[in-house]
Each structure stands twice: as structure tokens, then as C-alpha cells.
Amino acid sequence: MRQVKISILALYLCLLTGCEHIGFYNQAVTGHLSIMLGSQPVSELLNDPKTPGPLRQQLILTQKILQHAETQLLLDADGKYQRYVQLQGDYVVWNVFAAKPLDLNGETWCYPVAGCAPYRGYYAQEDALAFADKYQHMGFETYVGGASAYSTLGWFNDPLLSSFIDYQPLSLAQLLFHELAHSKVWVPGSTAFNESFASFVGRQGAWEWSQSAGAVESDAYAQWLEQQAQWQIFKAFALQAKADLEKIYAGASQEEDTAQILAQRQKYLAQIQSCYQKNRATLGGGRYDNLMSKRFNNAFLVSLGTYEDFFPAFAQLFRQVQQDWSEFYIQVAALAELSETERAFKLAQLVQAGSAIDAEFSKGSGRHLSEYLGEYSDDRSGEQKIAAQANNNHAEEVHCDAFTNHSLN
């Protein structure tokens, strides 16, 4: 039945596109088919005495997480993640981002069903690298990033993968909640909306699950929280660079000398590298060395804008509905029905409302309101406490005069 469904999807995609991009869709269809054909039922693995102990424990853990997703987060997990696939590598798909040297908007590609997105996904790394190479020859900067999981948006029952099965408990829960959220609400062509929504569900859901009796050990929670904080520190660093580069690139629209702007850009990128080296211990302790030395470019910065642009808006919406997941999804679905312009306006209002509440609270206490959220169980979101620790406190640890005071004169 899965093969028939995949064949129908392939025909559907071909008809919609006139087979213009049949090579791309062929690798997508055959890639997913190959994964599903290599899958095994979780129930069989659990009953097989030859299944390694660590894998057995993780499979049992996923079933507990999925049960929580359905009963507490109201996500549809029926039939999903009931099969397991042992992959040959660390990633299941490779996403390609591309942007011009003086442009942070990035290229977009459009697909049937899913809509347009700022990346192109491939099941084989060599295919992704070949596609990136094609754009590099066209004068683009590219970034190729591996992904541990993906969602078929409810078309198929997605499997558990070896690329993420050994994640520590909260990271595993966060990933599964994130992917399940994609089947709950999806707006074709609105990547930032879709990913921000799923990111919020994943992180808020993981935090709530961590508070349930016996869900995780305290050290696992601390490890997860630290991982969240480390990424937010580095992301704040990268987004500051993105904002500064946007100011530099603005000169290109004012008909300034392109060579001069490129030289200014190179000088600024050198300052970023220097700042990173000075704060390497704070900025991931070496986790991002390869990225910074070889792949920190416009295309990478484009990739940063796809997952959490509207995260604060969904956090504020969740606060407004008193942490009621059912009402939260109703409100998110209502946002999804709006036009792109109306939806952007509503999301901006939510971000502004959250910021105003936080600012008012901090006047009298000297602390961020979001630092308190999660300490009380009545009407405040614990996710906000995590966001505060990551975004506000830790981000202030990075200081580079050359980085923040670049020359724009």
C-alpha cells in the first residue's frame, strides 16, 4: 500500500510540474521509498531478543513520548513512528540554501503541496553537493546542512530513524513533537510560520514533558537546557552579524561601488571571525569551528531565518490562551487562514504584545518577566523561562567592539 501511495504521489507531482523537474522529484520519491522499504515494525524489534539493549530502551521511550503527544499536546500520532530505519549515515536528507554575495533574501524553490521554501532537499549528500556546486558556478554562496528528520506532512506514517533515535530524552521528545506539529497546521509556502510554530510546540512540549512524573532525570533536563542555551547564544551572535551585513548590503541598492561594498563586507567578516575566536568557549566551545571557518556566509544566514522567526509570537499566543493546547491550535489555524499580509500583521502584534508585557514587568523587578515564567503553574509558560535563559542572560556574554561597531562610514 505504501508503494502504491508513493507511486501516486510521483505521478501527481509529475502532472503538476510537467515533469520539468522530474529528476529532483524522482530522487525524492525513490529516496523515501527506499527508507520505508528498509524499515522494521517497532513492535517486532521490541519482541526480538536480538535487539540491542540501548536501542530497545530508546524505542520504548519513543512510545512514551508519542503517548504524551496525543494525550497532553493533542497531536495526532496514530500510526506514526511505529517503524524503525537503520540509516547508513548520520543524516536522512541534505538541504541546500543559496544566496547572492550581496543579498540575504536567498533563493526559493516551489513544490506541489508544500509550497515555496528557501531550500532544496536531497536524500543523497552527493546530489545536494552537486546542486550546490551548480549554484556556486552561477555566482551564489551556498550552505548544505544535514537534517536528522523530516516530515511528510501526514501523507505517510513517518518512521523513527537511526539519525535521531539515540538523542537524549528531551531532545528526542522535542524533535518528535516538532515533526508531529507539521501535520497539525501547515501553510503552503510559509516556511517561517510553519517552522516557528513547530519549533514552539517542540520546545514547549519538551519542557512540559520534563515536568511530568518520572519523565527524565534531572541531569538530562540540565543537559537539554544547556544545549538550548548554547544554540541561542551562537544564534544571537549570527543574527547580529546578519543585521550588520544587511546594513552593509543596503549600499548596493544605492548604486555605491560594488567592489567597495564587497571589500567592506570582507573586512567585517574578518571581524566576525576574530570575535568568534575570542569568545569560542562561550560560542559552543568549538562546536561551530567548521561552520565558522568554511560555511559562514549569506546562505547559512538565510537558513537561520527559517525556524524561529515567529517563535515569540507563538509563545505569546500560548500565554494568551492560558496554556490551553486545544484553544492554541484553534488560534493558530485561524492565523493560517489569513492572507500573508494579514498573518504577518497579526504575528507582529503578538510579538509586540509579549515584548510590552515583559518590559513593564522588568521595570519594577529588574528581571525579565520571561525569567519567572514556568515558576508558577497557573497561567505562565515554562518555555519562556528557557527562552529567557538562552536569549537574554547568555547572549550578553559575547562582547566584541570590532564586531558590534563595524565601520559603515
Q: Is the pLDDT of residue 18 over 80?
A: no
Residue in the block written with cell 546542486: 131
Q: Are residues 17 and 107 in the same domain?
A: yes
How are beta strands 160-161 and 83-85 bridged, if at all? parallel
Confidence at residue 307, expressed as pLDDT on a 0 to 100 scale? 66
State the average pLDDT over residues 207-231: 80
Number of domains in the chain: 2
Maximum average pLDDT range among 65-74, 247-256, 281-290: 65-74
CA-only gyration radius of the chain, Å = 22
Amino acid identity of residue 43, one-letter, is S
Confidence at residue 21, expressed as pLDDT on a 0 to 100 scale? 63
Confidence at residue 115, expressed as pLDDT on a 0 to 100 scale? 79
Cell numbers placing 49? 531478543
Reported confidence tier of residue 399, pLDDT bands at 50, 70, 90: low
- Provide φ and ψ at 340, rounded to 5°: -60, -40
Q: Is the pLDDT of residue 212 over 90?
A: no
Q: Are residues 182 and 42 in the same domain?
A: no
Q: Do 74 and 326 contact (CB within 8 A), yes or no?
A: yes
Among 166, 193, 219, where does a domain finish? 166
Q: Do 240 and 193 contact (CB within 8 A), yes or no?
A: no
State how far Cα 269 lies from the chain centre: 25
> Where are the strands (E) in 227-307, listed by range?
none
Tell me the helix, strand and coil percentages in the chain, rounded to 5.
Answer: 60, 10, 30
Q: Is the pLDDT of residue 19 over 50?
A: no
The partner residues of 116 in beta bridges, in order of sequence, read 110
Confidence at residue 214, expressed as pLDDT on a 0 to 100 scale? 62
Query: DSSP assignment, residue 297?
Result: S
Q: Are residues 310 and 219 in the same domain?
A: yes
Reported residue count of the chain is: 409
Q: Are residues 187 and 98 in the same domain?
A: no
State the average pLDDT over residues 165-184: 95
Q: Do 319 and 354 contact (CB within 8 A), yes or no?
A: yes
How are beta strands 109-111 and 93-99 bridged, if at all? unpaired
Q: How far is CA 195 from CA 182, 192, 251, 392, in A?
A: 8, 5, 31, 22
- Go through 37-48 and write b for each residue having 16 or more CB atoms within 10 A of its CB, e for each that does not: eebeebeebeee
Q: Are residues 183 and 160 in the same domain?
A: no
Q: Are residues 218 and 239 in the same domain?
A: yes
Q: Are residues 262 and 393 in the same domain?
A: yes
Among 130, 149, 166, where does a domain finish? 166
Q: Are residues 174 and 145 in the same domain?
A: no
Q: Is the pLDDT of residue 15 over 70?
A: no
Reported confidence tier of residue 333, pLDDT bands at 50, 70, 90: very high
Q: Are residues 153 and 210 in the same domain?
A: no
Write the pLDDT tens digit of every residue in 85-128: 999 989 999 999 999 999 999 999 987 767 788 899 999 999 99
Give which of 283, 273, 171, 174 is closest to 230, Cα–Cα: 283
Confidence at residue 306, expressed as pLDDT on a 0 to 100 scale? 64
- What percent of the chain clears pLDDT 90, i.e. is strictly above it? 56
Range of the domain at 35: 2-166
Query: DSSP assignment, residue 156?
Result: S
Q: Determine the Cα–Cα distance for residues 169 and 161; give it in Å rounded to an integer.
A: 15
State the average pLDDT over residues 211-228: 76
- Give the three-class secondary structure for 359: helix
Residue in the block written with cell 566584541: 400
Q: Determine the Cα–Cα distance for residues 198 and 179; give it in Å rounded to an integer.
A: 7
Q: Are residues 143 and 171 in the same domain?
A: no
Q: Is the pLDDT of residue 163 over 80?
A: yes
Confidence at residue 259, expressed as pLDDT on a 0 to 100 scale? 84
Q: Determine the Cα–Cα distance for residues 402 and 24; give it in Å rounded to an integer.
A: 44
Give which of 256, 358, 277, 280 is closest to 312, Cα–Cα: 358
Reported confidence tier of residue 152, pLDDT bands at 50, 70, 90: confident
Mean of pLDDT over the chain: 82
Q: Are residues 156 and 203 in the same domain?
A: no
State the average pLDDT over residues 282-288: 90
Q: Determine the Cα–Cα distance for residues 313 and 197; give it in Å rounded to an integer.
A: 9
Dihedral sign, CA of 291, 292, 294, 296? Answer: positive
In this structure, the number of other CB atoms found within 10 A of the CB of residue 131 comes to 19
Q: Determine the Cα–Cα distance for residues 396 and 323; give it in Å rounded to an integer.
A: 29
Q: Are residues 97 and 174 in the same domain?
A: no
Confidence at residue 73, expressed as pLDDT on a 0 to 100 scale? 97
Among 166, 187, 204, where does a domain finish? 166
